[in-house]
Amino acid sequence: MASGNLKVNVYNGTIANPVKGASVTISKNGNVITEVKTDEFGSAGPITLETVSKSYSENEQFEVRPYETYDVKVEALGLTPTTIEDVQIFDGVMSMQDIYITSIDDNVSSDTYEVTPNTLWGDYPDNNLSVENNNDSGIAPIVLTRVVVPNNIIVHDGVPSNTNAPNYTVPFIDYIKNVASSEIYSTWPTETIKANILAIISFTLNRIYTEWYKSRGYDFTITSTTSYDQKYTRNGTIFEPISDIVDDIFNNYIRSGIRMEPLLAHYKNNTTESGYLSQWGSKELGDQGYDALKILRYYYGNSINIYEADVSASYPYSFTETLKKGDCSQNVYLLQNALNYIRGSYPGIPVINNPSGLFDDQTLNAVKVFQKVFNLPQTGEVDYKTWYKISYILTAVEDLTRSVYN
């Protein structure tokens, strides 16, 4: 029988507030499969669960859903019991389910959310170029002066005209991971996944760069609906192969020729229509050995190239170089103090006594534990993706601290 793994991360309102000792119950069709407790980092797992063979996600077919689903319930003292239904498990893949719970509300006995089907399996409307209503030249209006990856974006969970639909403030990186996990299969070739993620990032950055919705009077960045934008699944399951790639390339995007704006990279499940990437077609190209850029040029033209966007200055520090044991610099000193500050929320990260700017054994151990907690390769070196994950968590902890003392 095929199997995949599930890691559950439980937080009280924010990633800066992990919940230790929460009870996590995994069930299917009302039958309890297993019960576990979260550790000092708010994590439970990996938990091995049965699923269907990955062969069902390797080819387009409609007979067997290519993943299994389970319900995950979390209970903790003083917090509202919360259930995420239909958490997705793929063969040979680590699924990561973040669950945010809140203080008990006398008016709410429990919270329940559902992970909606992947767009390759579920029935969703196609994104259509006609809804863009661009000007006659087809060129979107440019509002911003440069392409920037923000800390957060605002996702409208409905069509633009639905004023009753909620808006969610979502970290940019988490949004990209969520959309990619909702739109493609994590069992696909690495270069196929990368190509699709670049299309997703570019589409999102185009919405930001052109201020598409804000320039039309809306108070959000993008919608969650496939007829207008990309599928965002509130409380969706994230898959490790997708997460790893996004961490590596979250500020990369594509553009065409001399055009300055990120490409509004449309795509469909399976199509030969000009201007669209075919998701299943990109999988076939990945099987044939195409790299990500070659896949993208196959669909969007040979003038497509990959560029790097600036990262929002609201991150405390910008990445400059990989830091490793033996290094001695101001950047190492900043790293040591950042990890010590993060310990306020994650005390399981070893303390670095008397930070001096020397990357010593204490720093090495703290970095490795941080990498383990946040599903990064445990190299002990602070590379691009580790630096920005530290920066992201540091910002969350600082925000929590300010909210407590203000």
* Complete domains list, the chain, with CATH: 3-114 (2.60.40.1120), 129-311 (no CATH), 330-405 (1.10.101)
- Tell me the average pLDDT across 295-315: 90
pLDDT tens digit string along 311-334? Answer: 876 666 677 889 999 999 999 999
Which pLDDT does position 137 carry in this prediction? 41
d(CA 254, CA 115): 30
pLDDT at 127: 73
Q: What is the mean pLDDT of residues 56-65?
A: 93
Q: Is the pLDDT of residue 132 over 60?
A: no
The pLDDT of 111-121, averaged and rounded, is: 95
pTM of the model: 0.92
Instruction: Check residue 125 and give its pLDDT.
Output: 85
The chain-wide mean pLDDT, for the chain, equals 92
Residue type, 358: L
**pLDDT of 130 higher than 80:** no
Instruction: Tell me if 81 sits within 8 A of 110, measured CB to CB.
Output: yes
Model pLDDT, residue 11: 96
Higher pLDDT, 392 or 89: 89
pLDDT score recorded for residue 133: 46
Asked, as a colleague might, if the bond just before 46 is cis with ω within 30 of 0, I would say: yes
Specify the pLDDT at position 182. 97
- With tokens 């919705």, the residue in question is 213
Helices marked H in 151-307: 172-183, 190-209, 240-249, 279-287, 292-300
Pairing outcome for strands 111-114 and 82-89: parallel
Residues 396-404, mean pLDDT to the nearest whole number: 81
Place of tokens 């924010």: 14
Mean pLDDT of 97-108: 86
| Predicted local confidence at residue 108, as pLDDT | 74
CB neighbours of 400 closer than 8 A, spacing ≥ 6? 14, 16, 17, 345
Q: Which helix (H) or strand (E) holds 114?
A: strand 111-114
Residue 142 has pLDDT above 90, yes or no: no
Cα–Cα distance, 397 to 374 (Å, whole number): 15
Separation CA 265–CA 254 (nearest Å): 8
Question: What was the pLDDT predicted at 67?
Answer: 98
Here the tokens at position 176 are 């990209």
CA gap 369, 263 in Å, rounded? 38
pLDDT at 225 over 60: yes
**pLDDT, position 195:** 98
Is 101's pLDDT higher than 80?
yes
Helix 172-183 vs helix 240-249: angle between axes, to the nearest 10 degrees? 140
pLDDT at 91 over 90: yes
Query: Which of 69, 186, 153 lies closest to 116 in space, CA to CA?
Result: 69
Q: Would you state the pLDDT for residue 146? A: 86
Residue 35 neighbours by CB under 8 Å, 6+ apart? 23, 24, 25, 26
Q: What is the pLDDT of residues 187-201, one digit of tens each?
A: 999 999 999 999 999
Where does the pLDDT of residue 136 fall: very low under 50, low under 70, confident under 90, or very high at 90 and above?
Answer: very low
Mean pLDDT of 44-54: 97
User: Are the C-beta atoms of 332 and 359 separated by less than 8 Å?
Assistant: yes
pLDDT digits (tens, 9 = 90+) for 335-382: 999 999 999 999 999 999 999 999 999 999 999 999 999 999 999 999
Does residue 72 register a pLDDT over 70? yes
